[in-house]
Amino acid sequence: MRRDRLLLATTLTLVFTADLYFVLLPKLQDFRQAGGPGCVCARGNDSLPRQGGLVSPRLSNSTDSLQDSAESELDDGGSKLDRLFDHPLYNIQTPVLGPEERLLQAEQLVAYYQKKVSRWERHMEMYNEAAAASNITVPKHKVTFDPEVSWLKFHLGINRYSLYSRQDPAVGQLLRDMHDLTIISADYTQDEKALKGACDCEQVVKPSGHHLKLALKMNDFGKAMFKPMRQQRDEVTSEDVFYFVDFQRHNAEIAAFHLDRILDFRRVPPVVGRLVNITGEVLLATHNQDLRNVFFTSPAKNTCFFAKCLYVCKTEYAVCGKPDTLEGSLSTYLPGLSQAPRVSIASPWIRSYTFEGRKDWEVNPFFCDTIKQMYPYNSGNRLLNIIDMSIFDFLMGNMDRHHYELFTKFGDEGFLLHFDNARGFGRPSEDVMSILAPLSQCCMIKRSTLMRLRLLSRERYRLSDVMRESLWGDPLRPVLTEPHLLALDRRLKRVLEVVRGCVRELGEEQVVTTDYARSTDPPWTSTVAGEGAQR
């Protein structure tokens, strides 16, 4: 608990300093109406003076720091992404973590996976014997379990603040590994298996067969979810398509990971693009006969596979390699639910998944007032986290955020996972303002989030530029077309406009909220049931 207090104190100090620096100082400057020769007056100055690699915020209104902010608007042509990640706002250190603040304990996890590898090896021995008996040649892969593998490091790095830390070298290694390593098996995901071939058709408009995602296992025993390319980069989803029947876009998954990292949320599990040989790496790698059965050769002699439902056949939805090679996104798996249970909660701003229906939030202008009174939104950061998520979704135009998930271990104060982003980046010309409803209706935002958004709206750190640069590192570059990148800047402006509108109406104090407010609620154990009931 001491660590918590220390963290709280550090954060409050930092936020207070930054507030003084960004709000009071510019006002003072405006008041003076004076600038030195060559001084370009930057609107909104979000740079903190740095000392070495560590942040040591200090209140300063010396010419020195002003000069720094003045020059900052001139683009020196260097890497904007490096500049962003070097910025003090992106270098606030997380305090040393106690065991309770980490999601997993190393020893237990390693033991668990060693057991799983042994089981896999036994299973493969039996499978290979059976295959040999049936005269089927099966590619054999050596699997060795190494406690130093990147995916395990990523799992062990998950803590109460985020999925990974900013400088964690395991994340870069994990992206490279997901791209490079041999795929040793492919299967349907648990979701698909749960459906058992039945189309999920409770509601007349539920999607049915758009999901062609697969679980791939690598030879380091890492697992990734594969979403194949369904749409060309420059194809724009028709305006008549409902968000819930829209294609899942592999490039949206990749771009969402980068966007989330750039926004410094770090709540999206790492995603990388990969060219997959669907014959060698899926058809021949799977041990699931059902999956094998949905493969076919197209009239153009390409290898394809389709989604199969009990009563319909989905060749119309087939995806095809060229002739075997298919682009896709690989999202790393989180630790299994047995190791790290998660809870899935319907968003208060969930949309109606029917043609006609309207949800309360769409018609009730006082919706947020009700929500603010309700557990778990009546205290702590939950509502602010949802607002963070709505900003993230608005920037990429994702309307399909019906549920959010969090790790049960971190209780009510845990961060929200920004899962399943494949329906973002559909229409670059459109800004779906209703996605921002949590922000615009509640008129609240974390100060730290707002500061980063302001930073990203500046020329020196422009969101579209840092995104372009970040995405250039992905093997499937260019991941997004220019219209999608430029839409990010336009939407960011609109987010800041909404915040300005709120501040005008309610005052900054009411709107811009200090992070890490303490929850006064009972511990998580007693709250899961409450949230479960809400679903």
For residue 417, give the 3-state DSSP assignment: strand
Q: Which is nearer to a copy of itself, 316 or 509 (CB)?
A: 316
Q: With binding defined as CB under 8 A, does residue 52 bind a copy of itself?
A: no
Q: Which is nearer to a copy of itself, 228 or 376 (CB)?
A: 228
Cα–Cα distance, 488 to 457 (Å, whole number) = 10
Q: With binding defined as CB under 8 A, does residue 363 bind a copy of itself?
A: no
Structural tokens at position 452: 């980063």
Helix (H) or strand (E) segment spanning residue 273: strand 271-277
* Helix, strand and coil in the chain, % to nearest 5: 45, 15, 45
Q: With binding defined as CB under 8 A, does residue 310 bind a copy of itself?
A: yes
Crossing angle for the helix pair 447-456 and 382-396, nearest 10 degrees?
20
Q: Which is nearer to a copy of itself, 268 or 320 (CB)?
A: 320
Q: With binding defined as CB under 8 A, does residue 199 bind a copy of itself?
A: yes
Which range touches a copy of itself (CB under 8 A), out of 196-204, 340-348, 437-445, 510-518? 196-204
User: Which of 110, 318, 343, 486 lies at the binding interface for a copy of itself (CB under 8 A)?
Assistant: 318
Which range touches a copy of itself (CB under 8 A), out of 98-106, 312-320, 463-471, 506-514? 312-320
Cα–Cα distance, 65 to 122 (Å, whole number) = 64
Q: With binding defined as CB under 8 A, does residue 99 bind a copy of itself?
A: no
Question: Contact, 113 vs 145, CB < 8 A?
Answer: yes
Structural tokens at position 29: 């400057």
Question: Contact, 231 vs 341, CB < 8 A?
Answer: no
Cα–Cα distance, 209 to 312 (Å, whole number) = 9
The answer for residues whose C-beta is within 8 angstroms of residue 107's C-beta and 6 or more apart is none
Find the catalytic residue in 324, 400, 465, 521.
400
* Closest distance to a copy of itself from the beta carbon of 522 (Å): 41
Question: Contact, 307 vs 212, CB < 8 A?
Answer: yes
Q: With binding defined as CB under 8 A, does residue 208 bind a copy of itself?
A: yes
Q: Write each residue from 153 to 192 as x if it is in contact with a copy of itself (CB under 8 A), else as -, in one continuous string.
A: ----------------------------------------
Q: Are strands 512-513 and 445-446 parallel, antiparallel or unpaired?
A: parallel
User: Which of 10, 277, 298, 325 lies at the binding interface for a copy of itself (CB under 8 A)?
Assistant: 298
* Closest distance to a copy of itself from the beta carbon of 363 (Å): 17
Q: With binding defined as CB under 8 A, does residue 376 bind a copy of itself?
A: no
Q: Which is nearer to a copy of itself, 51 or 203 (CB)?
A: 203
* Closest distance to a copy of itself from the beta carbon of 386 (Å): 23
Q: Are strands 403-407 and 342-346 parallel, antiparallel or unpaired?
A: antiparallel
Q: With binding defined as CB under 8 A, does residue 320 bind a copy of itself?
A: yes
In b/e form, how buried is each residue of 431-462, taking b as 16+ CB within 10 angstroms?
bbeebbbbbbbbbbbbbbbbbbbbbbbbebbb
* Residue 400 appears among annotated catalytic residues: yes
For residue 185, give the 3-state DSSP assignment: strand
* Closest distance to a copy of itself from the beta carbon of 396 (Å): 17
Q: Which is nearer to a copy of itself, 326 or 334 (CB)?
A: 326
For residue 173, the number of C-alpha atoms closer than 13 Å in the C-beta half-sphere is 14
User: Which of 302, 441, 449, 470 lies at the binding interface for a copy of itself (CB under 8 A)?
Assistant: 302
User: Which of 296, 459, 472, 507 lies at the binding interface for a copy of itself (CB under 8 A)?
Assistant: 296
Cα–Cα distance, 161 to 174 (Å, whole number) = 20
* Closest distance to a copy of itself from the beta carbon of 498 (Å): 21
Q: What is the DSSP letter of 225?
A: E
Nearest in space to 141 (alpha carbons), one of 183, 180, 188: 183
* Closest distance to a copy of itself from the beta carbon of 191 (Å): 17
Q: With binding defined as CB under 8 A, does residue 235 bind a copy of itself?
A: no
Q: With binding defined as CB under 8 A, does residue 240 bind a copy of itself?
A: yes
Q: Return residues touching a copy of itself (CB under 8 A).
A: 199, 201, 203-210, 238-243, 245, 296-300, 302, 304, 309-313, 315-316, 318, 320, 355-356
- Residues with a catalytic annotation lie at 400
